[in-house]
Structure 1
Amino acid sequence: MGLTSQSLGYTGIVLALACVAVTVWLWPRLARQGLRPVLGRLGAIVMTQLSILCAIGIVVNSHFEFVGTWDQLLGNNDKGPVSVNEGGGGYAAVGDMKGGLVQPAGPQGLDRVTGLPQGTPDKVGKVESVRFIGRRSRAINPGFVYLPPQYFQPQFQRQRFPVMVVISGYPGGIMNLAQHLQVPQNAGRLIAQGRMQPTVIVMVRPTIAPPRDTECVDVPGGPQAETFFTKDLPDALKSAYRVGRDPSAWGAFGYSSGGTCSLQLAMRNPTVYTSAVSLSGDFVVKDDLTTGSLFGSGKAAAQRRREHDLLWRLKHLPAPQISALVASSRKGEQGYGDTMKFIRAAKAPMRVDSIILPQGSHQFTTWRREVVPALEWQSRQLTFPQDTEPVPPSTPQPSPGSEKGADSKKGSGSEKGSDSGKESDPEEESDPE
């Protein structure tokens, strides 16, 4: 029975209700004088309270996925396999990679999501439930990977696909990306309609050390979240999937804390991610009760803190050569003012586009309106085909021009509406529903 499974949640609720019923039934017998009745009443109260708290904890964890497995709960993850698959030139199926950097996982709630691809992968695509092993950060993080239909089609068998790393908010988990934002479902529809190029979409959470909010920061003496997202995760994906090697094929995407991460990752690591989407993200990383101390202490801490302030970076450091899309609402979102400051501060070679709603809020109702135009926008930034796999010696070389569509699609300023700081309303661009 998985830690995030529905059956465990139902079991916890039933046991809690049973404890309440037993307490009510026994209470008249425990109402007498004497040591034993008093101890009985205390025991009944304690057991009832514990069962209720456990049931609430199980349900909340199932929804937000603070802890994904029993091993994580018991602290048994430190000895997980971290070997790198090298050589051979091929890609094993994830189900066969028991010693690799991408390993098969249980459903992780994926079995509760509606609208996922149903059918043969070469027709509808596929969503895999996996876990990523961080060779440097030593992190083990759950994830979903969406593979488009083209990934399985013979005419694309030598091509590497662009990648979107889609990051959930905190404390939410990867289930929110599939269930509430419906990222793979929307991507599948857009690809089928020709509004988005075939893309591998990787869905992960922003923290690598739950329940602590690591904010995609390398904490001195603590979790190395930035290292995970900029080194471990790309290495893992390249070892298991046909994905692009060049940064032009990689983009980060997120909402709330995930949006904060996506901007931080691209602006601080433009040789890894060349585009970023931030739906209601912040522009500075700060310590709070959920993060603890992210920057350490002493003089170096102040500098690390400044370098995670994106407005400070735009003012004092050269602008990175990336494209960014930021989304906010004039009314209902506290971050609107900082969003406009960020747009105005951007300078070449960086380009910033925006989705500004008349009114919205910091919740899925708003982000669902923005996710489709945001997916389309980022798709235009990524190159595909990014590059190709070498032809095996036994395979005849194709004649020139036989690989239709082999020219890379540029993502720097060639698309309509790419002027820096341009606002767009998704109601005018397209209807995300």
Structure 2
Amino acid sequence: MGLTSNKVLVLAVLSAVLLFVGTVWWWPRLARRNWRAVIGRIGLLLVTQVAIFASIGLFANQAFGFYASWADLFGQESGQGVVVFHGGRGGSDGGPLQVVDTQPVSVSGGTRPQIGGQIQKVDIVGRTTHIATPAFVYLPPEYFQSRYRTRTFPAVTILTGYPGTAAALIKGLHYPQTAHDLSKNGQMQPMILVMMRPTVAPPRDTECVDIPGGPQTETFFAKDLPDAVSAHYRVGKKPGSWGIVGDSTGGYCALKLAMHHPESYAAAAGLSPYYKAPIDPTTGDLFHGNKEMRNSADLRWFMQHK
């Protein structure tokens, strides 16, 4: 059973409830002052609290999408990341972007793409960085309507925090549903959303940095991702066609990418971002002693000196 499955959450909640009831039931019998009773009380309290906190943690993870799997939670995920050699090809037909699944948007009439749009699950391989990562792409209803068949659309890259799960952008933050409703009400123009997490080389937190001798994450997001999406979908070619937004780590990445690569991203927004790449056990050595790279990853320094 997966970390985000309802079965795991229900099992954890039931365990917590049963342990709580068991504690109340057995407490009078454990009220004695011998060592066995003391150990019994400690054991029941400890196990019950662990079950309660596990239930709360699982519920919060489902709601906010912090971790996508058990391997992700324990820092053992390595299924996606840097492709050692991919020949520059993204799939059997040679494209850098492959659609692997589709799903409707949770809006009224959403089963019809012409009314609700469509969410496509895709695999993307960077032609220059050879980074492979999954993503979700939201296509607005207009994308499927015949009168717009020659129209191009602006695109926005949306990034989660670290480690994050892209599905939370759909189920938790409702980006496609919000985009659909705002567009329908004339509050924004129809646009393509590319939803993903910045963790493209799990379990490492690359902070969207081109790591010397490691994943070239900044180049992937600045060049490979827009190129792959534009090659597959009808994305506008004019300057200003791309924007980027993210929260936490994704917010830092969004601001940095727009500042470093205005030719790729004309606008950016960071939700609860920070402004300097941290160095901790999840990131490892990002700069390998390169002071210029370290300074460039500090957005306040970059604004003052560039």
Greater relative contact order structure (CA < 8 Å, 6+ sep): 2
2:50 is the counterpart of 1:47: no
Aligned counterparts of 1:235 and 1:151: Cα–Cα separation in 2:
19
Q: Percent identity?
A: 41
- TM-aligned CA distance change 1:51 to 1:152, over 3 Å: same
1:12 corresponds to which residue? Answer: 12
Distance (Å, rounded) in 2 between the aligned partners of 1:117 and 1:216: 38
The Cα of 1:265 is off from its aligned counterpart by 0.7
Q: Secondary structure at the match of 2:90?
A: coil
**Corresponding residue for 2:101?**
104
Which ranges of structure 2 fall in alignment gaps of 5 or more residues? none
Q: Are 1:304 and 2:296 counterparts?
A: no
Task: Decide which of 261, 264, 278 is 1:287's aligned counterpart.
Answer: 278
Unaligned 5+ segments in structure 1 are 90-98, 318-433
Greater shift in the superposed pair: 54-63 or 185-194: 185-194
Write the deviation string for residues 72-100 of structure 1: whole angstroms up to 9, x where unpaired: 457454378976137589xxxxxxxxx96
The letter for the 2-side match of 1:308 is: A
Q: Once the two structures are superposed, what CA deviation does each residue of 1:217-264 show, in whole Å capped at 9, x if it has no partner?
A: 334566654244234533553465343466642221235543332221
Conserved? CA contact 2:4–2:69, under 8 Å: yes
Corresponding residue for residue 390 of structure 1: none
Are 1:120 and 2:112 counterparts? yes
| Cα shift at 1:122 | 0.9
- Contact 1:307–1:313 at 8 Å: present in 2 too? yes
Contact 1:214–1:294 (CA under 8 A) maintained in structure 2: no
Q: Tell me the SS of whatever aligns to 1:234.
A: helix
1:278: how far off? Answer: 3.9
SS of the residue corresponding to residue 66 of structure 2 reads coil
1:164-175 mapped onto 2 (5 Å cutoff): 164-169=156-161, 174=166
Q: What is the CA–CA distance in structure 1 between the aligned matches of 2:296 and 2:224, rounded to whole Å?
A: 22
Change (3 A) 1:189 1:45: closer
Query: Does residue 152 of the first structure (1) align with residue 141 of the second (2)?
Result: no
1:261 and 2:253 correspond = yes
Query: Partner letter of residue 305 of structure 1?
Result: R
Deviates more, 1:206-215 or 1:3-12: 206-215
Alignment check: 8 A CA contact 1:145 1:202 kept: yes
Shift of 1:9: 2.2
Task: Find the residue that maps to 2:110 and give its secondary structure.
Answer: coil
- In structure 2, the CA distance between the partners of 1:34 and 1:181, relative to structure 1 (3 Å rule), is closer
Cα deviation digits, residues 311-340 of structure 1 (max 9, x gap)? 4334433xxxxxxxxxxxxxxxxxxxxxxx
Residue 20 of structure 1: how far off its partner (Å): 2.1
Q: Output the CA distance in 1 between the equivalents of 2:115 and 2:77.
A: 39
1:266-295 CA distance string (max 9 Å, x none): 22123432332345645x314266865564
The TM-score, its normalising length taken from structure 2, stands at: 0.73
Following superposition, the deviation at residue 18 of structure 1 comes to 1.2
- What is the aligned counterpart of 1:186 among 178, 185, 201? 178
Out of 80, 84, 88, the position equivalent to 2:90 is 84
Q: TM (normalized to structure 1)? A: 0.55
- Distance in 1 between the 2:73 and 2:172 partners? 25
Give the Cα separation in 2 of the matches to 1:121 and 1:6: 28
Query: Shift in Å at residue 151 of structure 1?
Result: 1.1
Residues 209 and 311 of structure 1: CA distance in aligned 2, closer, same or farther (over 3 Å): same
Equivalence map 1:247-258=2 (5 Å): 248-255=240-247, 257-258=249-250
Does the 8 Å contact 2:80/2:132 carry over to 1? no
> How far is 1:187 from its partner?
2.3
Amino acid aligned to 1:285: K
CA distance in 1, matches of 2:37, 2:193: 60
Give the drift of 1:56. 2.6
Q: RMSD of the TM alignment (CA)?
A: 4.2
Q: Distance in 2 between matches of 1:293 and 1:71?
A: 19
Q: 1:88 to 1:313 in 2, by over 3 A?
A: closer
> Quick one: distance in 2 between partners of 1:2 and 1:236?
30
In the other structure, the counterpart of 1:3 is 3
Equivalent residue for 1:270, pick from 262, 267, 275: 262
Q: Displacement of 1:62 after TM fit?
A: 1.5
Letter in 2 for 1:85: G
CA change 1:73–1:256 in 2 (3 A) is closer
Distance in 1 (CA, whole Å) between partners of 2:194 and 2:268 is 14
In the other structure, the counterpart of 1:23 is 23
Evaluate the alpha carbon distance shift between residue 43 and residue 170 of structure 1 in structure 2; reply closer, same or farther with a 3 A threshold. Answer: same
